[in-house]
Amino acid sequence: MAKMSKSQMLAELAESTAMAKKDVAMFMDKLTELAYKQVKGAGEFVLPGFGKLVKVARAARMGRNPATGESIQIPAKTVVKFRVAKACKDALM
């Protein structure tokens, strides 16, 4: 089964909700903006039934350059992780 493209997803959502594809695209864009804003400010954004985006501080650590094998220092940074909701896990099993 091939993965669904963005335009296919928008068309499917537009058809199943009786909304215009343009309106669905605008809604998805606004939802994305809201998610970025909430993760940046509050540290997490919850999508009920799917999971949540969580901002995590990753500590500095030692790594290894795969080409040369020498040890290198990897600096600390902030990353975003997605934690899958239990309802989503259960639905896929």
Which regions of the chain carry the CATH code 4.10.520.10? 43-93
Residue type, 18: A
What pLDDT does 42 receive?
A: 95
Element (H, E) at 77: strand 77-84
Q: Which 8-state DSSP code applies to residue 20?
A: -
Could you report the per-residue pLDDT of 58-79, keeping only the tens digit for each? 999 999 999 999 999 999 999 9
Structurally, what CATH architecture does the domain formed by 43-93 represent?
A: Irregular (4.10)
Please say if the pLDDT value at position 22 is more than 80. Answer: yes
- Banded model confidence at residue 15, pLDDT cuts 50, 70, 90: very high
What pLDDT does 39 receive?
A: 96
Whole-number Å distance between alpha carbons of 39 and 46: 9
Alpha carbons within 13 A on the beta-carbon side of 75: 2
Q: What is the mean pLDDT of the chain?
A: 95
Look at the block and give the residue holding tokens 């949540």.
52
| Other C-beta atoms lying within 10 Å of the C-beta of residue 10 | 19
What percent of the chain is predicted at pLDDT more than 90? 96
What pLDDT does 1 receive?
A: 76
